Amino acid sequence: MVDGIWRGFASDNYAGIHPEILDAMSKINDGHQVAYGDDIYTEQLSGVIKKQFGNSAEAFPVFNGTGANVITLQAMCKPWEAVVCATSAHINVDEGGAPEKVAGIKLLQVETPDGKLTPELVDKQAWGFGNEHRAQPKVVSITNSTEYGTVYTVDEVKALADHAHSLGMYIHLDGARISNAAASLGTSLRAFTTDAGVDAVSLGGTKNGAMGAEAAVIMNPDLVPAMKYVRKSGMQLASKMRFISIQLVAMFESDLWLKNAQHSNAMAQELYQGIKDIPGVEVQAPQANALFPILPAASIEPLQNVAKFYVWDHMINQVRWMCSWDTTQADVDSFVAAVKRELSN
């Protein structure tokens, strides 16, 4: 640590703001703009989102990912309807019950081996249609990249969307790390969302270099009318929205979103190459920007003193190492050396 500056592998949320995004925010700070989204920069964002996701896409900027998920699912569900998701899904595990508390949505969980749903797994909860005693399944929610760092392919998303639609259900994609998924797949954002049949996306920016900017992106026009009301009642309508919108403009108008994600993914690969052959480490190759190694229990705390990271599953001593847009090769090399030293003991 130098003058309070330190680096770690705990979360891509720990990273700072990309200089291009800070610069974009500074440049629009002069003068006045109409509040609550009627500004020229939010209008500009609308065009950017249509370019990335297609002409049917409508963007609703919000403060955070939990808000994007909750209000989008609220717009997709009536009070008696439910969302099918992986047990590991962020909406189920890491949002403090917000979908249930704020939106009143029942989550129907499905155990998965890798964080990914399949049509067959969806069917474990997508039943009881017309049964008044059961919350009615209405949405399939997936995450790309997932909480396990795995990535749905275009064909996998399309199969889920086709299956959901055949059941009269919508499909929602939690895209907190959507840029990392696209970088991993080598595709456009549109390829595994709009073109694959996804109805709505929670578009992430914060984990990829924004200060704090997310958006609900709606492709299905039937869902658009409800969005401005659920966004306001869900406390996600920013008065000075221009400062959220310009972050997403700066990220998605150019290829900054892709460069940042490619870099964090590449650093995860470098970290994997550095530790995969160390005796005592069990780890699979990353698909995006996260690794989930299993370590000897005694090594975890000493390594956390070298670089912050989280224990993922304490029952098997599995940890999570997350790379960020600003992770450097020196960060990786230094940590790999620390792992080698610790495990040699």
Domains parsed from the chain with CATH numbers: 32-252 (3.40.640.10), 256-344 (3.90.1150.10)
For residue 251, pLDDT over 60 is answered with: yes
For residue 2, pLDDT over 60 is answered with: no
User: pLDDT class for 345, splitting at 50, 70, 90?
Assistant: confident
Helix, strand and coil in the chain, % to nearest 5: 40, 15, 40
Query: Which helix or strand (DSSP H or E) is residue 84 part of?
Result: strand 81-86
Q: Would you tell me the crossing angle of helices 329-344 and 297-306 to the nearest 10 degrees? A: 140
Closest CA to 141 of 220, 202, 59: 202
Edge-to-edge strands of the sheet including 58-62? Answer: 58-62, 214-218, 200-204, 170-175, 136-143, 81-86, 106-110
Determine contact, residues 309/9, Cβ cutoff 8 Å.
yes
For residue 305, pLDDT over 90 is answered with: yes
Gap between the Cα atoms of 67 and 141, Å rounded? 15
Residues 210-232: tens digit of each pLDDT: 999 999 999 999 999 999 999 99
Residue 181 corresponds to which tokens in the numbers above?
A: 């998924």
Q: What angle do CA 286, 287, 291 make, to 5 degrees?
A: 30
Phi, psi of 76 (to 5 degrees): -90, -15
Gap between the Cα atoms of 93 and 99, Å rounded? 11
Q: What angle do CA 174, 201, 313 make, to 5 degrees?
A: 5
Q: Which residue has the tokens 């994997």?
A: 272
Q: What angle do CA 183, 186, 160 make, to 5 degrees?
A: 90
Gap between the Cα atoms of 267 and 324, Å rounded? 8
Helix/strand number for the chain, H first, E second: 13, 10
Amino acid letter, residue 330: A
User: pLDDT class for 3, splitting at 50, 70, 90?
Assistant: low
Whole-number pLDDT of residue 5: 83
CA 18 to chain centre: 18
Residues 44-55: tens digit of each pLDDT: 999 999 999 999
Per-residue pLDDT, averaged over 275-302, amounts to: 97
Residue 49: CB atoms within 10 Å: 25
Gap between the Cα atoms of 219 and 50, Å rounded? 10
Counting every residue, how long is the chain?
345
Per-residue pLDDT, averaged over 120-137, amounts to: 98
Contacts of 101 (CB under 8 A, 6+ apart): none
